[in-house]
Amino acid sequence: MTAEVDLDSDTAVIEHSRQTPEAFAVLYDRHAPAIYRYLSRRLGPDAADDLMAETFLLAFRQRDRYDPARLDARPWLYGIATNLIRQHWRREVRFLRAIARLGIDPAVSPADEDVTARVAAQGSRRELAAALARLNRGQRDVLLLTAWGELSPAEIGAVLKVATGTVHSRLNRARKKMREALGGIDPLDNERTS
């Protein structure tokens, strides 16, 4: 008779995976969809596939360095993903400029929107992508981790290794610049910001 291992917390999964590597799949199953969505929105679906795999490969290789005081691995995984994005910085800027020119968001399937809504949204996407491309990296990271990663300021601080106050000030600056670029529209009005 073998004792069952409680894998409710991410820390328990990571700890157990040190002895039983295949247990790490639980962490992947739990967080891969959210990491993929974040990466896809940042870099496009093709790069997201590669970087998601690389994110979890690095997490697996670095699991001995995971801080067991964290019960939730999301900030750690988003930190790895964000660092990988930084390594592909030039590609990200080219991607956002292409969206600004074309007004097409490859993270949204045409089947997900009706034609009228897609046509109406093209101008907004162009403006949004152009405004995102003009933010500095720190502001863009904070804004997108808030909007697309749905992380709290404290979690974003852990991801970016900055103080929560820095996250708040970067987010405020990013929102102000986005409002100016989008004619007074705040892109986070419907997003969690606390």
Checking 173-179 for CB contacts under 8 A at 24+ apart, the result is 173/139, 174/135, 174/139, 174/140, 174/142, 174/143, 175/143, 177/131, 177/134, 177/135, 177/139, 178/128, 178/131, 178/132, 178/135, 178/143
Checking 44-49 for CB contacts under 8 A at 24+ apart, the result is 44/95, 44/106, 44/107, 45/106, 45/107, 47/88, 47/91, 47/95
> Residue 116 falls within a domain, yes or no?
no
Please, which pLDDT band fits residue 124 given cuts at 50, 70 and 90?
low
> Residue 40 falls within a domain, yes or no?
yes
pLDDT in tens, 7-49: 889 999 999 999 999 999 999 999 999 999 999 988 888 889 9
Domain that holds residue 78: 1-87
> Residue 64 falls within a domain, yes or no?
yes
> Residue 34 falls within a domain, yes or no?
yes
- CATH number of the domain enclosing 77: 1.10.1740.10
**Cα separation of 188 and 39, whole Å?**
19
> Residue 42 falls within a domain, yes or no?
yes
Whole-structure pTM value: 0.58
Q: Is the pLDDT of residue 105 over 90?
A: no
Q: Which of 9-23, 113-127, 177-191 has the highest mean pLDDT?
A: 9-23
End-to-end CA distance of the chain: 47
Residue 109: its pLDDT value, please? 55
Please, which pLDDT band fits residue 77 given cuts at 50, 70 and 90?
very high
> How many domains does the structure of the chain reveal?
1
> Residue 154 falls within a domain, yes or no?
no
Residue 7: its pLDDT value, please? 83
> Residue 144 falls within a domain, yes or no?
no
> Residue 120 falls within a domain, yes or no?
no
Looking at per-residue pLDDT, the higher value among 108 and 191 belongs to 108
> Among residues of the chain, what percentage have pLDDT more than 70?
75
